[in-house]
């Protein structure tokens, strides 16, 4: 423990956080300490491609322990373009030597999408395309972790019309990846993933989309700890967003919904195209008017029907349906009721300042 630059107290607290993230009993802390201080930790090569460096920035703002302690003492990162001391040819030589000496052993963390159009010419590093660098390094890794939504699914660089042909790592290179998503993902999720590998000699169990169950196994809505009432009726994507933001606060302080902001689903495939626009003027007006007295908005049932129909018509018809939710959706389509627009807000709030069919 004395070999680590962080204090023993800080390190033990951090290991306790890893155990909690992985859903392990606190009795596992000694084993986690042993795994993270052993000489057998594999080197980690951290590659940057088409991204904003936000995933690394999340690490840079980690405290107790700090970024240097995590990246170098805990994760054994040997190459990271943003914070490494070496630069230019010297840095590339260090990277390539690690790949050659530890082929089939090192862990590759990829941050950012990979431009593939016109042989990858739209993304260059040191005279080489990002695509070429990825093809020469990633296939030699024992495991590849796509860190952030851009690396996993393309993210913002792959948003329509995507002139650079940006893709997630799996689609661009054709290798299986462990996808730790978010914009940015919580730093603890990456450390916990690698710790799980050190403990069990295998990566944690994955969903069909490559995301680990321990951090992407449940929706935010299912366990949301909102302090000011549910925002499901305010275009919150929590009911269909799989992440552990509400369980692992950034720097143990806060997260989006706690700061009175709806979830925008940043960890999901097609994040930018499927969820945008995130706001429009009508949504902002509705939010400002009704948010202070908000109550949980469950799936809409009779709220939109009562304006024109008696209160029991919907329930009577729904009781004969094999799939009530499917029936609800069919009726919404039939009546052109778009639940994720400000028009649906006006259905329940007749005093609202008008309603539009624009996505909110």
| SS3 of 104-120 | CCCEEEEECEEECHHHH
Is there a catalytic annotation at residue 236?
yes
Is there a catalytic annotation at residue 228?
no
Q: Which of these, 205, 279, 194, 280, lies nearest to 237 by C-alpha position?
A: 279
Contact 187, 59 (CB under 8 A): yes
Contact 226, 36 (CB under 8 A): no
**Residue from 266, 275, 297, 345 carrying the catalytic annotation:** 266
Is there a catalytic annotation at residue 183?
yes
Contacts of 163 (CB under 8 A, 6+ apart): 117, 122
Is there a catalytic annotation at residue 349?
no
CB atoms within 10 A of CB 159: 16
Contacts of 149 (CB under 8 A, 6+ apart): 155, 181, 182, 183, 266, 267, 268, 271
**Residue from 224, 246, 297, 345 carrying the catalytic annotation:** 224
pLDDT at 360: 58
Contacts of 330 (CB under 8 A, 6+ apart): none
Q: How far apart are CA 237 and CA 162, in angstroms?
A: 24
Is there a catalytic annotation at residue 221?
yes
**Residue from 15, 193, 263, 305 carrying the catalytic annotation:** 263
Is there a catalytic annotation at residue 256?
yes
Residue 223 DSSP class: G
**Residue from 15, 48, 55, 108 carrying the catalytic annotation:** 55
Per-residue pLDDT of the chain (360 residues; tens, 9 = 90+): 444 456 777 777 777 777 777 777 788 888 777 777 777 788 889 999 999 999 988 877 766 555 556 666 667 788 888 877 778 888 899 899 999 999 999 999 999 999 999 999 999 998 999 999 999 999 999 999 999 999 999 999 999 999 999 999 999 999 999 999 999 999 889 888 888 888 888 899 999 999 999 999 999 988 887 776 677 766 788 888 999 988 888 877 888 888 878 889 999 998 888 877 777 666 677 777 766 666 655 554 555 566 667 667 677 777 777 776 677 767 766 666 665 666 666 666 666 665 666 665
**Residue from 48, 186, 216, 221 carrying the catalytic annotation:** 221
Q: How far apart are CA 13 and CA 10, in angstroms?
A: 5
Is there a catalytic annotation at residue 52?
yes
pLDDT at 247: 87
pLDDT at 1: 40
Query: What is the residue-wise DSSP string for 256-304?
Result: TGGGT-----TTSTTHHHHH-----HHHHHHHHHHGGG-----S-SSTT
Pairing label, strands 166-167, 114-115:
antiparallel
Contacts of 36 (CB under 8 A, 6+ apart): 15, 74, 195, 198
Is there a catalytic annotation at residue 143?
no
Q: How far apart are CA 90 and CA 202, in angstroms?
A: 32
Is there a catalytic annotation at residue 193?
no
Phi, psi of 359 (to 5 degrees): -60, 145
Is there a catalytic annotation at residue 266?
yes
């Amino acid at each position: 423990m004395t070999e680590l630059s962080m204090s023993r107290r800080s390190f033990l607290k951090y290991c306790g956080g890893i155990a909690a993230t992985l859903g392990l009993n606190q009795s596992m802390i000694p084993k986690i300490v042993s795994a993270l201080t052993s000489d057998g930790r594999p080197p980690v090569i951290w590659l940057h491609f088409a991204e904003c460096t936000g995933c690394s920035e999340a690490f840079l703002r980690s405290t107790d322990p700090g970024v240097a302690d995590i990246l170098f003492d805990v994760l054994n990162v040997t190459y990271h373009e943003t914070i490494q001391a070496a630069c230019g040819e010297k840095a590339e030589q260090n990277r390539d030597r690690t790949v050659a000496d530890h082929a089939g052993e090192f862990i590759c963390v990829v941050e950012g999408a990979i431009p593939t159009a016109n042989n990858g010419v739209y993304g260059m590093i040191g005279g080489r395309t990002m695509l070429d660098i990825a093809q020469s390094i990633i296939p030699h890794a024992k495991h590849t972790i796509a860190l952030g939504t851009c690396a996993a699914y393309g993210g913002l660089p792959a948003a329509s019309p995507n002139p650079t042909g940006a893709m997630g790592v799996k689609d661009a290179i054709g290798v299986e990846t462990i996808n730790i998503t978010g914009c940015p993902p919580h730093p603890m999720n990456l450390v916990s993933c690698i710790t799980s590998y050190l403990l069990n000699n295998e990566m944690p169990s994955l969903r069909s989309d490559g995301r680990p169950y321990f951090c992407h196994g449940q929706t935010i809505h299912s366990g949301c700890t909102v302090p000011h009432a549910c925002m499901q009726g305010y275009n919150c994507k929590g009911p269909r967003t799989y992440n552990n933001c509400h369980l692992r606060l950034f720097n143990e302080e806060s997260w989006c919904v706690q700061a009175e902001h709806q979830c925008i689903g940043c960890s999901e495939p097609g994040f930018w195209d499927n969820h945008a626009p995130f706001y429009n003027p009508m949504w902002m007006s509705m939010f400002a008017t009704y948010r202070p007295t908000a109550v949980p908005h469950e799936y809409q049932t009779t709220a939109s029907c009562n304006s024109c129909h008696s209160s029991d018509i919907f329930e009577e018809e729904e009781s004969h349906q094999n799939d009530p939710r499917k029936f609800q959706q069919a009726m919404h389509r039939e009546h052109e009721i778009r639940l994720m627009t400000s028009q649906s807000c006006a259905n329940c709030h007749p005093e609202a300042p008008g309603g539009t069919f624009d996505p909110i």
